[in-house]
A and B are shown apart, each in its own frame.
Chain A
């Protein structure tokens, strides 16, 4: 746990010390908030965050790779991955530390968007439960997207998956869309099925990442 916290702090600090994070943050917030505010703040329209949360997965699609691909790629590029592998740190701690740091950075960005629901609540009668649900769902969606990109950021996993799995299985995986489960929570309905789905999804990719790192460490 302590190791995880150390990795988490280091990663989070690196996010906030890098100018890329701010450029990324301003772009992300600027694009998202402009599109959402234009659609949501309209006299006589129902006070709802539907347009915002409808846009969010699309904006994630463009911005999340920038946030996640660097997690391992940066280590490899600067050569620190070899050093990292030699540290007496468990692979699980490495993975979870990096992962939660990315998630925390994203959570900060999402927190910056709270002005919009507050505005809508002030000028209309906003139903907060679906909004909170949608924020949770957005984080979960970001979480699985992060994990996919995070895991794919380590190229060997992508290669393994593409190499080993038959086409029908790849299609099957493609069919299990996280967006389907995002919809349910985002409208304010918390379902055990959706929660189990997200836990399983995250568990699978975290485990896949751990296996990849484990074999790398064994390989030396």
Chain B
């Protein structure tokens, strides 16, 4: 049929001019599309700007002072399997974009290792790994080898290799390449000091529980150099360390308190992950208190008093939050469960309520409807109390700092585990901070908070089988609910920041001595005692007339080794900063490593993510901040609405959910169809009426 038609066309003599005409047209249009793709202008209209380069990438690439060569070892696109071909398009676009941004300082060089065997050796040498994919046809199964890796070389020296890179979307390409660029152009890592006091309760695998995981995460280790300053000698923290992190101080000696004090006095940033009680998770996730004392045995000064001196009141109580949203865990399926859950079949976890594990909710608790609800009892509203709540209640995330940019998208802060009560020094609502010190709370619990002394046991999952554990959990929570009724409505601070010209806690007090000084003193005492000891009547009189006894050799060595303490600083000359968290467990190893994942949690997913953000925020390194917050906003569908306060029957809620969903589906399907049908019927009847009128007109 088509041949016959073509011959007809040829006969009519239009075939050639038509062909030429369309070929020329195609050529022109093809050229137009090609030019448009070379000189593109694009507008990313998504509210999260997910498909645009972030400010982070622009700042880092735009600020290059030396040449950065990006060596792209890529197999030809045509040879790639379909799943890799799409990632190549994304990667090529991204590399073109950053090359344009770099204005000559960033050069992309492309190599094809398939074409040149020596390049394959180069790839292997520099650490780029091939991607082997399987392909199957009806007759054979084969493995094909592809290359898609990058090597970044900055100023001909420092290198970074991304051995395999296959981003499916542009922001993933950015999240992979930009930190690598940042790493390669960063000259030296920032020093951070730390002191940690591992738990006396061993973890489930017998190891001591510390805070190593968050310090050694690749994102952190690449840019920050952690050094331990909790040494036996008690040396002061060196001048070049600007940040000191304390992981759950306990058994703190006076000298350690002095080291911390002097660090603050010289204007450093002190980060405090604090707890007043240590809870261990025994088998079956029984939460039992482990013996813990804040101060060392022979300590003269109290740690709580020292904190109070700086403006932090830590009275030794713990906090539970009963608001349902505060305990709503992230990622209940796969990747571990954030809070407490019961493991079900197929790796699923059923959430159980445990108000000692919770997070700050990114919501305004002073909203009138919430305040009214809180001020109502048995349907009666206490206007005065409602007004008080509207005036005093604070949002869960009470700051606009970039630290919480990512968390705001999830409408929450990081999850805390048995947090302690920690507040700004003061009397009730009135804070009385030291002169020259400003303080603010960044994270708050909900108003449905219980504050109590740490109990010996906070077990919510008693019993061997799942059913008895669920029943025990229900009883545990019922008790807490009953207690909540008799408690006043109040919020507990979970994170706070103080800054200003602190004064020394040790001002006017004797300076605690270093270990070497104590040893020297002890040796001297011993020597004196030995000298005083009368061997016979003549020797006893010797010291009074002769020269003093020589010092023992050991203490002389120690004194020579240890530098003398500088004069005690009494006041901060510039500005010091203390950032305090009411919890240390959310960044501790067993929680961040997900050791309890198989049992249904807890697994501090947000703790591990929060720590690098905190370090960047503390050092005001905003270079990667835009990239960190490059997570799409949480747009979860909530068919029953946000229930910040209500805690109704679960079965009723499920029934209501099913009904709402069904009615919405029906409305969405039937609605448009009904509109079309109604329009059709309207047209039909009006046409009939028109016809009738016409016929009547003819009849008349």
Contacts and interface: CB of A to CB of B under 8 A. Distances in A.
Given A189-B45, A189-B46, A211-B21, A162 B2 contact: yes
A130 B46 CA distance: 6
A92 to B, nearest CB: 16
Contacts of B41: 191-192
B5 A203 contact: no
Interface string B659-693: 00100110111011101110110011001000000
Q: How large is the interface on A (under 10, 10 to 19, 20 to 34, 35 or more residues)?
A: 35 or more
Max chain A Cβ within 10 angstroms of own Cβ: one of B40, B637, B657, B665: B637
24 contacts: A17-B687, A29-B673, A30-B673, A33-B672, A33-B673, A37-B665, A42-B661, A43-B657, A44-B636, A45-B636, A115-B671, A115-B672, A124-B635, A127-B48, A156-B5, A159-B2, A164-B22, A188-B46, A189-B42, A189-B46, A192-B39, A193-B37, A204-B25, A208-B22
Contacts of A36: 668
B46 A124 contact: no
Given A37-B665, A193-B36, A26 B673 contact: yes
Interface stretch (B12-20, B157-165, B467-475): B12-20
Nearest to B7: A163
A189 B667 contact: no
Contacts of B25: 204, 207
Interface string A184-195: 000111111101
A123 interface: yes
Contacts of B48: 127
B108 to A, nearest CB: 20
Given A42-B637, A125-B633, A163 B6 contact: yes
Given A163-B5, A215-B14, A127 B668 contact: no
Given A46-B635, A163-B3, A116 B51 contact: no
B639 A43 contact: yes
A19 interface: yes
B637 A33 contact: no
A126 B36 contact: no
* SS of A interface (majority): helix
A55 interface: no
A200 interface: yes
Contacts, number: 170
A211 B637 CA distance: 51
B668 A37 contact: yes
Interface string A118-146: 01100111111110110000000000000
Contacts of B634: 46, 125
B141 interface: no
A43 B638 contact: yes
Nearest to B662: A41
Max chain B Cβ within 10 angstroms of own Cβ: one of A43, A44, A48, A132: A43
B554 interface: no
Interface in A73-118: 112-113, 115-116
Nearest to B633: A125
B44 interface: yes
Nearest to B638: A123
A1 interface: no
Contact of B636 (A112, A124, A160): A124
A6 B39 CA distance: 39
A208 B44 CA distance: 34
B672 A200 contact: no
Interface residues of B, number: 59
Nearest to A128: B47
Contact of A22 (B45, B632, B672, B677): B677
Interface string B41-57: 11111111001000000
Max chain B Cβ within 10 angstroms of own Cβ: one of A47, A123, A162: A123
A116 B640 CA distance: 17
Given A37-B668, A207-B25, A211-B21, A191 B638 contact: no
Contacts of B37: 193
A197 interface: yes
Contacts of B657: 43
Contacts of B2: 159, 162-163
Contacts of A63: none
Q: Which 4 A-B pairs have the closest CB atoms?
A: A163-B6, A22-B680, A129-B45, A196-B36
Contacts of B29: 200-201, 203-204
Contact of A41 (B15, B45, B51, B665): B665
A44 B351 CA distance: 15
A179 interface: no
B697 interface: no
Interface in B28-80: 29-30, 32-33, 35-37, 39-48, 51
B635 A126 contact: yes
Given A29-B672, A160-B18, A189 B636 contact: no
A25 interface: yes
Contacts of B636: 44-47, 124
B9 interface: yes
Nearest to A218: B14
Interface in B640-671: 640, 657, 661, 664-665, 667-669, 671
B47 A129 contact: yes
Nearest to A164: B19
A48 B48 CA distance: 14
A106 to B, nearest CB: 13
B26 interface: yes
B43 A190 contact: yes
A187 B676 contact: no
B676 A115 contact: no
A189 B51 contact: yes
B676 A17 contact: no
A34 B21 contact: no
A49 B255 CA distance: 61
Nearest to B3: A163
A38 interface: yes
